[in-house]
Amino acid sequence: MITAQTRISEVLQDHPELLPVLISASPAFEKLRNPVLRKVMPKLVTVQQAAGMAGLEVADLLGKLLAALGQAPAGRADVASSGSLLGTPVPAWIHAEMAAELDVRPLLERGEEPFSQIQKVTSRVPAGQQFLLLAPFEPVPLYLALHRKGFVAWCERSEAAYRTHFYRQAETQEASLQPINPSETPCTGWRFDLEITIPETLEPPEPMMRVLAALEELGPGQALLVHHVRRPVYLLQRLEDTGHRVEVLEEGARVEILIQKKPLKSGPSGMA
């Protein structure tokens, strides 16, 4: 059943007939007619966040979607838990030095994913400083993802954008990132230079951000082995679109992904 926390991508994947319902609910959803934008923005936004972007009450938008499916809302209790930071007290660190500012609105308008840019910015923010993220919606999924990297957040809304401040409390260690000597994994015979494991408990976009961060550690032509709990369709498409070579092995609930970073010059891949 669709809830306030269901992602718009899941809504449209399971019920493509609801696209006209969304568009009729608000002019803000007109951009969903563009198939390129449908690949990016809906993957980041929940029904609750989409309602906020459109200036709608989440209960009203949820009611329209469920009514179109012939279902009745489960009640307002589900709508209450959003993870939103809007309206929370201004934190004491709000005047900390600003290390960077990133506006992802142009990226999203072009149908590009912002995760790699966010990753680059966060890697440059030292402890005791903050960065400002400008977006067309509140980036609730990032709160948990960046919290694991030592960031706390606070969000405010202006007429033009959601302004989210991310403050780095302390340096953190990426426990899942384990550089090793080039070796072979017994289950596949693949050669790799680095491997990471994606925990099942991670919420999007943290799995993608961890993979992209690991790729940043590698040189051209080197390989990354990812132990995943599901097939990350959107990540795989992005990797192929940007010139990386990818092989996937699925064994039951386990997914092994070998990613060879795009070489500087074309030549033999070296992948087994």
pLDDT tens digits along 105-123: 898 777 777 888 898 899 8
pLDDT of residue 195: 86
Q: What is the pLDDT of residue 213?
A: 80
Residue 205 lies in a domain: yes
**155 and 186 part of one domain:** no
Dig out the tokens for 72 from the structure. 């009745």
Q: Which amino acid makes up residue 34?
A: N
pLDDT of residue 102: 96
User: Are residues 185 and 231 located together in one domain of the fold?
Assistant: yes
Element (H, E) at 182: strand 177-184
Q: Is residue 270 part of a domain?
A: no
List, in sequence order, the alpha helices (H) in the chain: 8-14, 19-25, 35-38, 41-44, 47-54, 58-68, 77-80, 105-109, 115-123, 140-147, 206-216, 233-241
Residue 33: domain span: 8-79
Number of structural domains (the chain) is 3
Cα distance between the two ends of the chain: 43
| pLDDT tens digits for range 32-46 | 887 766 666 556 677
Both structure tokens of 76? 């307002």
The values of phi and psi at residue 248, to 5°, are: -130, 135
Identify the CA nearest to 213 among candidates 151, 205, 164, 108: 205
Render pLDDT for 197-249 as a digit per residue (tens, 0 to 9): 888 777 667 788 788 888 888 888 888 999 888 888 778 877 887 888 898 88
Report the SS3 class of residue 218. coil
Unique residue bearing structure tokens 């960077």: 100
Please tell me whether residues 182 and 253 are part of one structural domain: yes
pLDDT value, residue 184: 44
Q: pLDDT per residue over 69-94, tens digit each?
A: 888 765 443 444 456 787 888 988 99
Reported confidence tier of residue 154, pLDDT bands at 50, 70, 90: very high
What's the mean pLDDT when you consider all of the chain? 78
For 5, what's the count of Cα atoms within 13 Å in the CB-facing half-sphere? 14
pLDDT for res 128? 93
CATH number at residue 240: 3.30.110.40
Q: Is residue 85 part of a domain?
A: no
Quote the CA–CA distance of 41 and 120 in Å, as a whole number: 20
Other CB atoms within a 10 A radius of the CB of residue 243 amount to 10
**pLDDT value at position 77?**
38
Whether residue 187 is predicted with pLDDT greater than 50 in this model: the reply is no
According to the model, what pLDDT value does residue 179 have? 39
pLDDT given at position 270: 46
